[in-house]
């Protein structure tokens, strides 16, 4: 049996229990049926869960590329970080991987069908989280 055809067994209840509660979300998480549902029910909680790690990863990439974030004003910092998150494929893949590692089997199946749109939304949310941290 090839790795692609092997059944993917994930500890769904454990993965769901790790997710933080976001105000305004239902206590029992329904299965997302649209891309917008997936963004709000899956991506937002997972980015909140991974917030500190996301900031550390972006800071490491900024340091690796010697970006002057400490001396830049807010506008310039926003532009530099936006460019880093949109053009650096290694960072983009790392951010997506931080979140994908917490998908349930069903979420991964949905993600595979809508990968491009969900990656765009995920990276937009990640950029907002990084910028709201005071950079």
pLDDT by residue, tens only, the chain of 135 residues: 455 655 566 777 888 888 877 777 765 567 788 999 999 999 999 999 999 999 999 989 988 888 877 777 778 888 888 888 888 999 999 999 999 999 998 999 999 999 999 999 999 999 999 988 866
Residue 120 lies in a domain: yes
Mark 33-64 as b/e (b = at least 16 C-beta within 10 Å): eebeebbbbbbbbbbebbbeebbebbeebbee
Question: What is the C-alpha separation between 91 and 100, in angstroms, rounded?
Answer: 14
Residue 7 lies in a domain: no
Domains in the chain: how many in total? 1
Residue 57 lies in a domain: yes
Residue 10 lies in a domain: no
Q: Which range of residues forms the domain containing residue 78?
A: 33-132
- The predicted model scores a pTM of 0.81
Contact yes or no for 125/67 (Cβ under 8 A):
no
């Amino acid at each position: 049996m090839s790795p692609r055809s092997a059944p993917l067994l994930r500890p769904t209840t454990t993965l769901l229990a790790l997710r933080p509660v976001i105000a305004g979300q239902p206590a029992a998480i329904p299965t997302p049926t649209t891309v917008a549902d997936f963004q709000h029910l899956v991506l937002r909680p997972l980015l909140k869960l991974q917030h500190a790690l996301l900031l550390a990863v972006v800071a490491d990439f900024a340091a690796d590329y010697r970006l002057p974030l400490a001396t830049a004003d807010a506008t310039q910092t926003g532009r530099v970080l936006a460019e880093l998150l949109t053009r650096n494929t290694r960072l983009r893949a790392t951010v997506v991987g931080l979140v994908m590692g917490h998908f349930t089997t069903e979420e991964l199946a949905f993600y595979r069908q809508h990968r491009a749109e969900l990656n765009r939304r995920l990276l937009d949310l990640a950029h907002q989280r990084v910028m709201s941290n005071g950079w």
